[in-house]
């Protein structure tokens, strides 16, 4: 029987199609704020290094959908996630997917269940590192369930605010109410119906994956070996999150990266490269706002461009972003997802891409 999970075959199929329209990733992850889903996965797969690498790092694992789709044989794979709830959920899926599906089935789509899950996760975050590691006084599958519940029952899959499961009274038109209630019911139904496939997809894709609970910034050694390939998808700089300025406090992850930390990391990376020290192959994610003609905006002022392009990184446009955020005027901003890479040997042909080197932006 043909192995449908053979990633190499899958990549060849993508190559033959020569288009990414309607292209789904081989394995889908669970719903996650900032998760890289859909077309994004096959697109970045063609920008991965063509030459073999020995070690791969998924530096900000999140839902782990990237790691799940790149299960190369003979590559030692690692993923780092700092948030305790997300880390525990991923470890439980990896260790016992059947039990994980069972506990998901006991999630109740109610505000009470959502709130108690949130409180439980706050309690887990308040534990000392030692007690968390030892698993003292809690059942880790309960932590995993609480995390999954807050993700699937929240607005934007952020785990912060409960997504009401009944249509609000402000909708008075009966037809509209039926339509909205149907969508909400489907959403609830999906918690249970979709979970087995999602969980087993992750489980398959994470076989042999070393999942680390810690900060990416404490594990930078992964970047410093030329045979390593590091995919880095941090919470974006605040200016890239694009929600109303006065709501910025709401735009974060439960475990976030401050701009200062972010920019220090970029400078350290650039200094290392400029001083000729060994460095692996790196793919770093970001985004840009675009105008109505598709031109990328504010290229010269961008921190990533300023710091990374002078030391040999290339910025490559991956795709139009589907989830557009509203600007101050309430209008949706159009964006593109981009990656910064420091190698030339991608799997595809360069002429298929829109990309920018230092000279393209800073001509003088």
Ligand X SMILES: C[S@@+](CC[C@H](N)C(=O)[O-])C[C@H]1O[C@@H](n2cnc3c(N)ncnc32)[C@H](O)[C@@H]1O
Q: For residue 140, give the nearest of 200, 85, 97, 60 by alpha carbon.
A: 85
Q: Is residue 25 involved in binding ligand X (CB under 6 A)? A: no
Q: Is residue 83 involved in binding ligand X (CB under 6 A)? A: yes
Q: How far is the CB of 364 from ligand X (least distance, A)?
A: 34
Of the candidate residues 14, 26, 80, 104, the single one contacting ligand X (CB under 6 A): 80
Q: Is residue 65 involved in binding ligand X (CB under 6 A)? A: yes
Beta bridge partners of 356: 315
Give CA–CA dist 219/234, Å, rounded.
Answer: 14
Give CA–CA dist 282/266, Å, rounded.
Answer: 12
Q: Is residue 86 involved in binding ligand X (CB under 6 A)? A: yes
Q: Is residue 242 involved in binding ligand X (CB under 6 A)? A: no
CB-nearer residue toward ligand X: 233 or 289:
233
Q: How far is the CB of 107 from ligand X (least distance, A)?
A: 20
Residue 62: alpha-carbon gap to chain centroid: 5
Other C-beta atoms within 10 Å of 134: how many?
Answer: 10
Q: Is residue 251 involved in binding ligand X (CB under 6 A)? A: no
**Options 27-35, 129-137, 287-295, 353-361: segment touching ligand X (CB under 6 A):** 27-35
Q: How far is the CB of 59 from ligand X (least distance, A)?
A: 7
**Options 156-164, 229-237, 341-349, 355-363: segment touching ligand X (CB under 6 A):** 229-237
**Options 45-53, 133-141, 228-236, 271-279: segment touching ligand X (CB under 6 A):** 228-236
Query: Closest residue (Cβ) to ligand X?
Result: 62
Q: Is residue 32 involved in binding ligand X (CB under 6 A)? A: yes
Q: Is residue 233 involved in binding ligand X (CB under 6 A)? A: yes
Q: Is residue 253 involved in binding ligand X (CB under 6 A)? A: yes
Q: How far is the CB of 213 from ligand X (least distance, A)?
A: 9
Of the candidate residues 66, 144, 202, 317, the single one contacting ligand X (CB under 6 A): 66
**Options 29-37, 136-144, 180-188, 328-336: segment touching ligand X (CB under 6 A):** 29-37
Rule CB under 6 A: which residues touch ligand X?
Answer: 29, 32, 34-36, 60, 62-63, 65-66, 80-83, 86, 215-217, 233-235, 253, 255-257
């Amino acid at each position: 029987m043909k192995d449908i999970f053979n990633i190499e075959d899958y990549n060849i199929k993508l190559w033959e199609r020569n288009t990414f329209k309607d292209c789904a990733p081989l394995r889908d992850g669970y719903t996650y704020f900032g998760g890289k889903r859909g077309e994004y996965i096959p697109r970045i797969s063609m920008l991965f290094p063509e030459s073999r690498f020995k070690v791969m790092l998924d530096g900000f694992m999140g839902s782990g959908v990237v790691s799940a789709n790149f299960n190369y044989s003979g590559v030692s794979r690692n993923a780092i996630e700092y948030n305790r709830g997300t880390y525990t959920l991923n470890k439980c899926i990896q260790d016992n997917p059947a039990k994980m599906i069972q506990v998901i089935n006991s999630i109740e789509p109610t505000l009470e269940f959502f709130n108690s899950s949130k409180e439980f996760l706050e309690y887990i975050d308040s534990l000392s590192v030692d007690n968390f590691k030892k698993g003292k006084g809690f059942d880790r599958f309960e932590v995993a369930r609480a995390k999954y519940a807050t993700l699937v029952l929240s607005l934007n899959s952020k785990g912060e605010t409960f997504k009401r499961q009944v249509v609000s009274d402000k909708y008075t038109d009966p037809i509209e109410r039926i339509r909205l209630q149907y969508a909400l019911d489907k959403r609830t139904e999906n918690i249970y119906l979709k979970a087995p496939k999602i969980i087993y997809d992750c489980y398959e894709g994470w076989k042999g994956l070393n999942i680390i609970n810690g900060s990416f910034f404490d594990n930078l050694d992964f970047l410093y070996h030329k045979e390593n390939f590091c995919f880095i998808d941090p919470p974006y700089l605040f200016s890239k999150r694009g929600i109303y300025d006065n709501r910025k406090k709401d735009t974060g992850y439960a475990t976030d990266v401050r701009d200062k930390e972010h920019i220090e990391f970029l400078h350290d990376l650039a200094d290392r490269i400029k001083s000729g020290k060994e460095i692996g192959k790196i793919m770093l994610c970001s985004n840009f706002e675009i105008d109505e003609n598709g031109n990328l905006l504010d290229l010269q002022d961008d921190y990533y461009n300023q710091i990374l392009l002078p030391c040999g990184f290339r910025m490559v446009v991956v795709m139009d972003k589907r989830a557009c955020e509203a600007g101050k005027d309430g209008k949706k901003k159009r964006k593109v997802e981009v990656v910064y890479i420091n190698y030339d040997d991608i799997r595809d042909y360069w002429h298929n891409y829109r990309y920018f080197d230092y000279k393209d932006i800073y001509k003088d």
